[in-house]
Every structure is written in C-alpha cells, then in structure tokens.
Structure 1
Amino acid sequence: MPVNLQAILDAPIIQLDTIDSTNNYAMRLVDADTAQEGLTIVAASQTQGKGQRGHTWADNPGESLLMSLIIRPQHSLERQFMFSATVAVAIANVLQKLDERCDVQIKWPNDIIINDKKAGGILIENIIRGSSWTYAVVGLGLNVNQPLLPAELPYATSLHQATGRRFDMDELLSQLRQEIITLTAHPQADEDILAQYNDSLFRKGSFQAFGKDGDRWKAEILSVTPDGKLQVRLEDGTGIGYVHGSVEWIWG
C-alpha cells in the first residue's frame, strides 16, 4: 500500500505543558488504539523523561525540545537498527544546516553530538503485534536554548551554547518532524543510510575509552554495521564488534 506522505505530515501535533514523558503519552495512545501515523506529542517539561537503558532525561522547562513522533515503519523487523539509523541521520541533517558553527555527529548508537558534546538523545520504543511491527515511537530530547548546563554535565551542550543564538522551538520541531517522516516513509537503501551514519560517526578513527565490570580499555572506532554493532580495533590490533549495552562509553 503506497505511503501517503502528506497525510502523515498533516497528522495532529499535541502540545503539552508538563507530562511524565512524551514517549509514555504516545505509548498510551497506541495502547488505546487512538494513535495515528505522524501524530506528535511535544511537551515544555517532562517529570520522568526517559533515556536509553532506563536512564532519565533531565531538562529545563521550555529550553529543550521534547517530542515523540508515532511512525509506522516501512523497514522490516530484522532491520530495526536501519530504522534507528535513518532517524539519527534525519536529525543530524536538520541540525547541521542550522548554523555553520555546529559540527553535528552521531554517537553510537543514537546520541546527537554538537562540537564534541552531547546535545540530545533518541529513544525509540517499538510496538510489535504478532510478527508485525505496528508502530515505532520516536522520542527526541534536544537541548536547545539553555545558556548554561549543570556543572556535573561537563560533556553536555545546547544549540544556544554552540551558536550563541536562540532558536524558535516550533520552527525547529517542524523541520525535524518533516525530515524524520520523509526519510522513514520512503527509506533510502541501507548502504546509503549506513554510509551517511558512518560519515557522521562520533570519534570515528580515534581511540575511545570503554569500560565493563570495572575494567577500562581503549579501542579505535571504525564503523557501525547494518545490525548496529560498533566495529572497533583494540590496541593490540584485534578487531571486535560491540553490541549496544555490552560496554560503557567513558567520556573524557
């Protein structure tokens, strides 16, 4: 069945002052069978913002873009990472065009990096019924207009910090939403998206510190594979692939 791109773009945008999390709100709509593709939830503040692997997403009210977008994936179930990569590339495409002072990269698997610091994170929650990938809820938390971020987050930044500009949140939402919907509704070939993802891969070609169970080591970041593994080369020359969640990324 052909995808009606305009119908998806015309889906409602629900604006909220405060919510537990925009992803939770979207998931409740899906559970109640009141969701539709393209429906977007935006909040000025979240009380229980969610990050990857159970981490929380902290935000200053009105200064972050907090959104969740309901998508009906055109990717097959076994290509879930390619859907995630498509979303990350779409976001990076928009942010890279905002200001020449922004060097936008993607930290494996789906953090948004601006000028070597984390500006945002993507959390995708999938609804699978039987063997059908019914919906994906694409959550994005992006630091936008914060002039300062907490001292305990030395590796975090905002668009305002990177550029000195303040951004119109509605306009930014519109641009991001349109690019995500457009790229996921008509997916590019996996090799093309993966090439764009790897071209933007944070610290590619550099040695990065990792940790697990109290051990620390460094490995050169090479690329990410179609199934989402991070390919690295250890200091002894051994090549290995990391599955998301199997190792800790150590900043600094």
Structure 2
Amino acid sequence: MIGYPFYILNEVDSTNNYAMEMVNAGHVTSGTAWFTTNQTAGKGTRGKTWLAKPGDISALSVALQPSMLPLSRQFMLSIAVALAAADCFASYAGDETVIKWPNDIYWRDRKAGGILIENVLRGNIWQYAIIGIGFNVNQPSFPAELPNAVSLLQITGQKRESVDVAKNLCTHLNTRIQQIHPSNYEAMLEEYTSRLFRWQKPAMYKKDNEIFMGIIREIQPDGYMRLEKEDGSMLTLGFGEIEFLITR
C-alpha cells in the first residue's frame, strides 16, 4: 500500500534525497512515503531546483519496489504516476488538469506540479523506484521569473492542508499502480496520451534554436514523442530534447 508508513518531515533538502538515503540504508519497505511542506533544495527534472515558502507546497516521495514491471517497461510506471498525480490535482482543480509530456502537471497552460522518478539499480535488477511528486498548493503569487506557474489557491481561491493533499495523492497512486499489468499497458498509454497538454493541437516549439509549429501525434511505449512539424516532417524526441513555448 502506498503511504504505509507515512512520515512527515518538518524540513528536508529534498524528499527524494531523503528517500534515497533510507533505501540505501535498507530502512524501508515498499510503499513508504515521506512528506514535507518545506524543501530547502527541492529537485526537478534535468537538474532543475524547485523551491517554495514553507507551507506553500506538497512534496511527497514514495519508495516503491517495481516488481510488477521489467526495467525495459519503466515508462509504464511514469504513465501510472502521471495519471495518479493528474487524478489527484483534478479532484481539486477540475478537468482542465492535464499532463505535459513526459510528466509535469498543468492546469490549462500553467505548471501546477512536477514528477521526478529516480531508480535504484543493482546490476540489471530494478530494486527501487523513488517517486517524487510536488504540487503548488498555497502560493498566492509567483516571482516574475516563473510566469507560467499556478497554485491550487490561485485556481480555487481556497487554502488547503498540504498533508491532506499528499495523503489523497497516495490513494490515487495506489489505485494507478495496481493497474499496471501487461493486459492494461495499451489502455493506460491511450488514456495518458488523451490527457496530454496540447495533444493533437498545433502549438509552438523550440529545438536546437529553431522555433516552429508542431503537433504531438504519438507517444511511443518507450516514452518517446512523435511530433509532426508544419512542413509534414516527423521528429522522434526523447525527454528534454524539445522546449514547449507558451504564447499568450
């Protein structure tokens, strides 16, 4: 069960760092969760940092033994986690909640949360996945350098207890991870793509200093995205290889 046990940390550099330390020390069981509203050095994808005032965020990390998946199918875990995070955020913010490929949580065209999954390998054995999820919960505003961020407070006008959001997230994670089975791979991928930000819609992108119009046409089972450029050519893209441009 995800979230059993559930630890509350008053302050930590990163819940993912803390979870990794506990896994490496052998002090956890699968499903253990760590929560904080105060990360001093929160981690995002591709080395980015993620900071907020204490109490404004819900930062959760879960240590999971992914025995239901071979390492070659690790994108299925990313799909399940993204769907769970979107389910949870949508339970407060409504059906304008979407997933920005590969696994950011957006509300309309603004970033509301992010996911970072780090793996613990022993040779070719996928021993643990450290699943980190952060939501913007109670921020009344964001600095000018983050014009694309949004919080639940801004969306709904209501302050929330971040720990309650995190426990709700554990429930959604438990549901989605239990769905991971070869018989469900195709349906989960289809649902994931149908809930993507900009799915099948023309929008502006940037790659290698080139700005162009493109349409997301496919997400492959290994996580690669197929994007059709306005000239009809197709790009196959891995994580971090393209920038989504926001135009308003």
Q: Same fold (TM over 0.5)?
A: yes
Secondary structure in structure 1 of the residue aligned to 2:10: strand
Residue identity in the other structure for 1:93: D
**CA shift digits 1:8-64 (9 cap, x unpaired):** 246221111211100000000111111211111111211111000001112121110
Matching residue within 80, 84, 95 for 2:89: 95
Residue equivalent to 2:73 = 79
Return the alpha-carbon distance in structure 2 between the equivalents of residues 250 and 10 of structure 1. 36
Return the alpha-carbon distance in structure 1 between the equivalents of residues 204 and 149 of structure 2. 18
TM-score by length of 2: 0.93
Return the alpha-carbon distance in structure 1 between the equivalents of residues 141 and 216 of structure 2. 30
Confirm or deny that 1:122 pairs with 2:115.
yes
Deviation at 1:158, TM superposition (A): 0.6
For structure 2, the residue ranges without an aligned partner over 5 or more in a row are: none
Return the alpha-carbon distance in structure 1 between the equivalents of residues 173 and 2 of structure 2. 10
Return the alpha-carbon distance in structure 2 between the equivalents of residues 24 and 124 of structure 1. 11
Residue equivalent to 1:206 = 201
Residue identity in the other structure for 1:224: I
Return the alpha-carbon distance in structure 2 between the equivalents of residues 10 and 126 of structure 1. 19
| Equivalences for residues 66-215 of structure 1 within 5 A | 66-73=59-66, 74-100=68-94, 103-188=96-181, 189-215=184-210
**CA shift digits 1:80-117 (9 cap, x unpaired):** 111101100111112222244x5110000010001221
Confirm or deny that 1:242 pairs with 2:237.
yes
For structure 1, the residue ranges without an aligned partner over 5 or more in a row are: 1-7
| More moved, 208-217 vs 17-26 | 208-217
Return the alpha-carbon distance in structure 2 between the equivalents of residues 72 and 14 of structure 1. 18
Residue identity in the other structure for 2:82: A
Confirm or deny that 1:45 pairs with 2:25.
no
Residue equivalent to 2:4 = 11
Return the alpha-carbon distance in structure 2 between the equivalents of residues 141 and 212 of structure 1. 27
| Aligned residue pairs, count | 244
Does the CA contact (< 8 Å) of 1:67 and 1:140 recur in 2?
yes
Residue equivalent to 1:4 = none
Residue identity in the other structure for 1:84: S
TM-score by length of 1: 0.91
Residue equivalent to 1:32 = 25
Change (3 A) 1:248 1:9: closer
| More moved, 64-73 vs 217-226 | 217-226
Residue equivalent to 1:63 = 56
Does the CA contact (< 8 Å) of 1:115 and 1:162 recur in 2?
no
Percent same amino acid among aligned pairs?
Answer: 39
**CA shift digits 1:221-250 (9 cap, x unpaired):** 223111111111111111222111222333
Secondary structure in structure 2 of the residue aligned to 1:157: coil
Deviation at 1:173, TM superposition (A): 1.2
Residue identity in the other structure for 2:105: I
Return the alpha-carbon distance in structure 2 between the equivalents of residues 51 and 152 of structure 1. 16
Return the alpha-carbon distance in structure 1 between the equivalents of residues 209 and 242 of structure 2. 11
Does the CA contact (< 8 Å) of 2:42 and 2:50 recur in 1?
yes
